[in-house]
């Protein structure tokens, strides 16, 4: 199977390692708008060749689209135009509504599978590629009824090889609304926590001497790439903004109970939040 990776960063590079290791990909072609990343992917052995877009797509049995979501949406029609009749395009973006909207009117829509592997780390670029990153995680597929059987089956086979559980989420708008809460909001929360503490460090130099494991785990996502995340927030602006608004209201309520000495009310809010134990082990 010839696999073309458009984007050889964390996601594309990780897929390359895992799909080569299991034998599913026998030839890996890389496309990247950064010449440096393309060269790095070659020298790391993630891909066999770095090629221009058209050449790489024409040679592919399957194309994996793993670039920032705004660029992915823009490039999708061109890739579908180039795609051979038996080939399949799978995108790996974290937002699905925009790209599904663009794909819907394309004559080769059936060759496209709109997916979102819920995996990753806070690192980015080819050097961050890690063949284990998908292992045991979930991959969402949207608008599966618009994909041809052969395309859907190929995507499912690939995710099975990556040891991912596939969940169908027909409606891309519902996907984006939900993922705003369980992924995008976590990133916003972490980015701004990092920023808040860094601002204070300017006057209180030794503040990080005290940082423990709790701080490390809540601030981990603040290391994520702005190039990846600004487009995600922008493409999911309405849902992320709504979720952020709710989050800010809850933080204001929390602060207000501290300010008014309402220890009981504060404990009640925390007890309510404790119910997350039932869901996240």
Q: Tell me which residues in 96-125 interact with a copy of itself (CB under 8 A).
A: 118-120
Residue closer to a copy of itself (CB basis): 18 or 185: 185
Sign of the dihedral defined by the CA atoms of residues 49, 55, 56, 61, in that order: negative
Residue 207 near residue 197 (C-beta atoms within 8 A) = yes
CB of 61 to a copy of itself, least distance (A): 28
Residue 51 near residue 39 (C-beta atoms within 8 A) = no
The interface with a copy of itself within residues 215-254 (CB under 8 A) comprises: 215-224, 226-227, 229-231, 233-234, 237, 240-241, 243-248, 250-252, 254
Residue closer to a copy of itself (CB basis): 149 or 199: 199
Q: Which stretch binds a copy of itself (CB under 8 A): 57-65, 83-91, 103-111, 257-265?
A: 257-265
CB of 125 to a copy of itself, least distance (A): 13
CB of 131 to a copy of itself, least distance (A): 16
Partnered with residue 141 across adjacent β-strands are 115, 168
Helix (H, G, I), strand (E, B) or coil at 232: helix
Strand ordering across the sheet containing 62-65: 49-50, 27-31, 2-6, 62-65, 88-91, 112-118, 138-142, 165-168
Residue closer to a copy of itself (CB basis): 6 or 188: 188
Give the chain's radius of gyration (CA, Å): 21
The interface with a copy of itself within residues 160-219 (CB under 8 A) comprises: 167, 169, 174-175, 177-179, 181-183, 185-201, 204, 206-219
Sign of the dihedral defined by the CA atoms of residues 37, 38, 43, 45, in that order: positive
Q: Assess 139 for contact with a copy of itself (CB under 8 A).
A: no
Q: Which stretch binds a copy of itself (CB under 8 A): 54-62, 75-83, 107-115, 264-272?
A: 264-272
């Amino acid at each position: 199977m010839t696999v073309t990776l458009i984007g050889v960063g964390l996601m594309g590079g990780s897929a390359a390692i895992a799909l080569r290791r299991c034998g599913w990909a026998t030839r890996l072609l890389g496309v990247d708008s950064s010449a440096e990343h393309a060269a790095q992917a070659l020298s790391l052995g993630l891909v066999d060749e770095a090629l221009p877009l058209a050449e790489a797509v024409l040679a592919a049995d399957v194309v994996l689209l793993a670039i920032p979501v705004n660029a992915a949406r823009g490039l999708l029609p061109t890739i579908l135009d180039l795609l051979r009749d038996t080939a399949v395009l799978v995108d790996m973006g974290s937002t699905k509504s925009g790209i599904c909207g663009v794909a819907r009117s394309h004559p080769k829509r059936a060759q496209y599978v709109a997916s979102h592997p819920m995996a990753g780390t806070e690192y980015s670029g080819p050097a961050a590629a890690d063949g284990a990153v998908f292992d045991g995680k979930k991959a969402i597929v949207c608008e599966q009824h618009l994909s041809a059987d052969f395309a859907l089956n190929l995507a499912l086979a690939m995710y099975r090889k990556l040891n991912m559980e596939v969940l169908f989420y027909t409606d891309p708008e519902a996907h984006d609304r939900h993922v705003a809460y369980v992924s995008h909001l976590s990133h916003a929360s972490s980015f701004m926590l990092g920023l808040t503490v860094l601002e204070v460090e300017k006057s209180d130099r030794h503040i990080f001497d005290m940082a423990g494991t709790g701080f490390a785990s809540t601030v981990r996502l603040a290391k994520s790439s702005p190039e990846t995340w600004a487009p995600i927030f922008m493409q999911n602006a309405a849902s992320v903004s709504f979720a952020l608004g709710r989050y800010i209201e809850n933080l204001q309520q929390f602060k207000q109970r501290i300010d008014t000495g309402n220890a009981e009310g504060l404990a009640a809010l925390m007890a309510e939040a404790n119910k997350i134990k039932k869901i996240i082990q």
